[in-house]
Chain A
Amino acid sequence: MVGSGNSVPPWANIGGLADSQTAIRTEQLSKSYRGKQVVSELNLEVGRGEIFGFLGPNGAGKTTTIRMLLNLSTPDSGSVELLGGGSGRGRAGVLARVGSLVETPAFYPYLCGRDNLRALCLVLGLPPRQADRALEQVAMSADGGRRFSTYSLGMKQRLGVAAALLGDPELLILDEPANGLDPFGIIQMRGLMRELAAAGVSVFLSSHILAEVGQLCDRVGIIREGRMVLVERVTELLRRDASFVLETDDPEGAARILRDLPGVLALSRDELGRLRVEAPGLQGDQLLRPLVTAGVSVQEFRRHEPTLEEIFLRTLGANAQGG
């Protein structure tokens, strides 16, 4: 499933959204540490109710960007706007409506999970029962009484998400929320994110689990060396990068015919000797008909949609070669 259930979500044609429709907006955001540029002129827009996946290799600047969004780090230049609120004193009020999990889940090791959330409830001026509700949301009620220092990585991660959910935030910023979760936990987390998005919560998440991002997110952005190199809707990305796989007794003959067809961008052979045809603008029958007419025997012909992982690697690879 992709999308939050709305037929035409407000972020569908993202770009120049009104403030009321924007959950996150950064303009020319830059940050360097000790002379090394970590984030460079980053422009980003995330719509309300959208689930946005923020991808990139280690050291690409994801966490630094998230820290700047949350006012945990001061940008060298550029601006950040969350939920229509700008920087300065007004930012504090806006951040009260933002739940976050940055880097590793950070809690007091001597308190149990429930008391950690209660301590945060007190800071946020929330009734303590919110802690129990947040534990329920991440399926941690049974372990809420255990000391945080005894938690497994997955349990710590769940508690981190529970803390982010306190106060029913309008925007969730989650850095690797699925880190350490078992497959059951990942499925639960995915369901929770979808429910929240359906209820109008915007979710901005970074993750290394690309299959998960592909299933969950409406749009993804890929950052490399501090620069955004791709932002696109997941459905569009997968459709655009689709190719065709062809198995035939005469691959050379088939390649000769296909190469001459308008709209065919590239041909390659995979490890099994099958032809891979990249022709994003063409339908299958537009490729198949000339082959059949020419008498080429076709054993298998199918459309292949790439995984997000393939797109990720291709994008970063192309970017590396290009730059």
Chain B
Amino acid sequence: MTERIPASAPPAGPSRGLLRLLRSDLFKLWHRPLTWGLIAVSLFFVLAAFLTLIYTVLNHASAVLPGHLFGGSVGLGNIIIQQLTLGRRVGEFSCVALAGAAVGVDFSSGALRVVLGRGVARWQVLLSKYLALCVFAVFLALLMTLEAALLAGFLPVLVGGAPGLDLLSAGDLGSILRADLGLLENWVGVMALGVALAIVGRSAAVGVGGGLAYLIAEDLGGRVLPAITFETHVAVFRELTSILYSANLNAFFYHSIPIRLAAELDFLDGVMPTPMVGTAHSLIVAAAFLAALLLISGALFARQERGS
């Protein structure tokens, strides 16, 4: 005889159901090798940024002197944020890949219908995915910042006169926190892109591949299109380029890091600097971009035949 345990949990209310789904999604991310692989790659690039920094400082010893980029009262903050700048770019690729994979696998494996077949609402499923990915983004930002700070602590050992962690000030912490916000704004945006593409294509491959392709295309387009439109001397092309690339994915981040680092952004991570729009403008554009992606993906997700 089968043992009957009255184990069925009572039907959950919306918030409780969402919390259960979020725990399940975090559990799946935690146990997914891809998550840790992407974290490892992202952290490796922070290390690579640090090695580049050492190379630069060893060749330009004056860089760590007061008044220069990595010296004085703002030097330590700049050293940490310089590493995060390259980390952001890799994190961007990691986030879009994980977002596409996390949502796409529900379609490709059919696991979505198991949850929906238990009466879970579709909006809860999608919202919990977004929330779990946001938790991942915060986790990755924290890990990167911690790594960058720890590596910065080694700099005085390698380069005499470089600022050490003992000089960490409230101003440095504020700068680092602002840079982290810039990372998160950027990553949340690209994750929404990865999720939307996975829903449109109903597969992880479309979410991951499409997301990565967009990021690469944006970088290339940012360099090639302005040159082309300049050559054509057509006003409408210039306007289009201005709309598409003056406030792109990188605009808010540009304003979230110290101005001297922002001026070097293109040199640091290959991203087109976007000095022509202000913080509010860039944030509004990012919010509009995010809202459009959430609306499109949400509407598509709700309309798709359940679990198919």
Contact = CB atoms under 8 A, between A and B. Distances in A.
Nearest to A136: B3
Interface stretch (A119-127, A260-268, A272-280, A302-310): A119-127
B28 A199 contact: no
B1 A168 contact: no
B66 interface: no
B31 interface: yes
A195 B33 contact: no
A125 B306 contact: no
A126 B31 CA distance: 19
A97 interface: yes
B1 A198 contact: yes
Contacts of B231: none
B28 to A, nearest CB: 5
Residue of B10, B21, B117 with most chain A CB atoms under a 10 A cut-off: B117
Contacts of A137: 2
Contacts of A107: 109, 111, 114
A106 B2 contact: no
B56 interface: no
A111 B32 CA distance: 7
A124 B16 CA distance: 10
Contact of A96 (B4, B23, B105, B118): B118
A29 interface: no
B116 A126 contact: no
Given A110-B34, A196-B2, A94 B118 contact: no
A107 B110 CA distance: 7
Interface residues of B, number: 40
A192 B1 CA distance: 9
Interface stretch (A20-28, A69-77, A181-189, A234-242): A69-77
Interface string A99-120: 0101110111111000100111
Interface residues of A, number: 46
A115 B24 CA distance: 10
B145 to A, nearest CB: 28
Given A70-B117, A106-B113, A122-B23, A195 B31 contact: no
A100 B117 contact: yes
Nearest to B101: A110
A147 to B, nearest CB: 10
Interface in B1-30: 1-2, 4-12, 16, 20-21, 23-24, 27-28
A56 interface: no
A120 B24 contact: yes
Nearest to A116: B111
Contacts of B105: 108-110
A279 B266 CA distance: 91
B7 A126 contact: yes
Contacts of B110: 103-104, 106
A95 interface: yes
Interface string A186-204: 0000001001101100000
Given A119-B28, A168-B7, A199-B2, A106 B306 contact: no
Contacts of A118: 27
A71 B24 contact: no
B11 A111 contact: no
A167 B9 contact: yes
B119 A195 contact: no
B129 to A, nearest CB: 12
Given A103-B110, A108-B28, A92 B120 contact: yes
Given A92-B120, A96-B8, A118-B27, A102 B2 contact: no
23 contacts: A67-B306, A71-B306, A72-B306, A74-B306, A91-B119, A92-B11, A95-B118, A103-B110, A104-B110, A108-B28, A108-B32, A108-B105, A110-B32, A111-B32, A115-B31, A122-B27, A123-B20, A123-B120, A124-B118, A125-B9, A167-B7, A192-B2, A199-B1
Q: Top 4 closest A-B pairs, CB basis?
A: A95-B119, A106-B110, A125-B9, A92-B119
Given A108-B111, A119-B28, 11 more contacts: A71-B306, A72-B117, A102-B117, A106-B114, A108-B28, A111-B28, A124-B9, A125-B9, A125-B20, A137-B2, A168-B8
